[in-house]
Every structure is written in structure tokens, then in C-alpha cells.
Amino acid sequence: MAISFSLEGKRAMVTGANTGIGQGIALALGEAGAEVVCTGRSRSDETVEMITEAGGRAVSEIVDLSDPMAGKAFIEAYDKPINILVNNAGVIRRADAVDFSEEDWDGVMDVNIKAVFFTCQAFGKKVLARGGTGKIVNIASMLSFQGGIRVSSYTASKSAVAGITKTLANEWAARGINVNAIAPGYITTGNTAALRADEDRSAEILGRIPAGRWGSAADMGGTAVFLSSPAADYIHGAILNVDGGWLAR
């Protein structure tokens, strides 16, 4: 049997597709043949242009997950079948644990886990109702496995993403839906700008990464394509580290 990584004929929704990891994943899915619904709190016109220039198809939609039910509402109202869901959108807040505010806690948890669960729920309901198959790729983190420093709510939320990925896989694996996650390492995105600006901290991080470099958004794309493709049909509940070897160190 030939192994296929093609996403031809599929429609993928990527949250937070306007920049960073989401943009890299959206482009890779488009290049693999999927029509990509690029969502974000601002328009994803640049991402759509990148995909169309590469010969793919994409549209931009505003979905602001600071309202954690916005993804659910969007999927429920969308009039075309979505076969692949990538829950990428996320936020981070940094403060010492003794100073962490309730506002920052709730803001991170709303976007990073509440929105993820209810967007998955809406996607799963539609796939099951039409008797089809679907692929969910959640974006976890190295902090799904580690504690981190000064990122209490982010660590809690990304640990929860790993847990939700596993429990949804348990419920839906036999019903045609694969649920897996990618745990990115240190990637050059807006979320890591403060770390990269700190020369000492950046040097410490690079010193631990066996690959010897920060990751790029493009490094996530191939993994997302794989987990969304028929080649990954027997993978359920996996949290795949894409971290340059960080967790192996």
C-alpha cells in the first residue's frame, strides 16, 4: 500500500494563522493540497497570499479566541465541511508566581485550553454527524512536560492541551477522528521575543538544544502535514516533540 502525505480534497482550519507557527503550518498544509481556512484575531491576508502564490487555495476569516467560544461558533456556522483542525492560537503571560494576576491567569487559560476544547468539540460533532473522518492537531509545548519559569498559566494550559488531546483520542479514535498534538521547542515567534532579546538567556537556551539553533515556524509545517495525512491514520493521542532535541538532552 502506497503511503500518502497528500491533503488533496481536504479543507483545513488553522487558528492563529496570521503569524508565527500558525502561518508556517497553514502554508505547509496548503502546499500539501488542502484548502486552508486561515483564522485569527486579525486578518490572515499575508498567509493567504503566501499559499496562493505557492499554487494553493486559502481564505481568511476573523475568529478572535479571546472569546473562548468563538471557534465553536465559527465551526457551527461554517457551511462547508472541515476535515482538518489545527488549534494553534495561543497567548503567554510572564510573572513570578507570587505576583501572577487572576486576569492574566484567566486570559491565558481561555485562549490556550478552553477555546481549544470547545473548538475541538464543535469540529468533532460535525465530523461524527456526517459520518466522515477528521484530523485534529493541537499545539502543545515543551511545557506540557516541564514546569518552566514565570509562566504559571501557560504551563498549566499546555499541560491541559496534552491531556485533552489524549482524552479526545480515547473517545474518537474508533469513530474516525485522529487527535494528536505537536510540542514545539524554542521557536522564533512573538511569544519568544523577550527570551531572544535576553542575550544570557538566549545563550543558555541554545546551549541546551542539540540542533544548535532556534526552530522556525516552517519546522512545524511538515509535522502538521504528516499528522493530518493518511500516513498518520494509526496515530492517536500522541504528543510529538519538534524541539531540536531539547527534551532529549
- Cβ neighbours of 195 (radius 10 Å): 14
Q: Do the Cβ atoms of 246 and 209 come closer than 8 Å?
A: yes
- The stretches of the chain forming alpha helices (DSSP H) are 20-31, 45-53, 70-77, 102-109, 115-130, 152-172, 193-197, 199-208, 218-228
Specify whether 186 is catalytic. no
Residue 245 phi, psi dihedral angles, 5° rounding? 95, 5
Interatomic CA distance for residues 92 and 83, integer angstroms: 28
Contact indicator for 236, 179 with CB cutoff of 8 Å: yes
Q: Return the active site residues.
A: 154
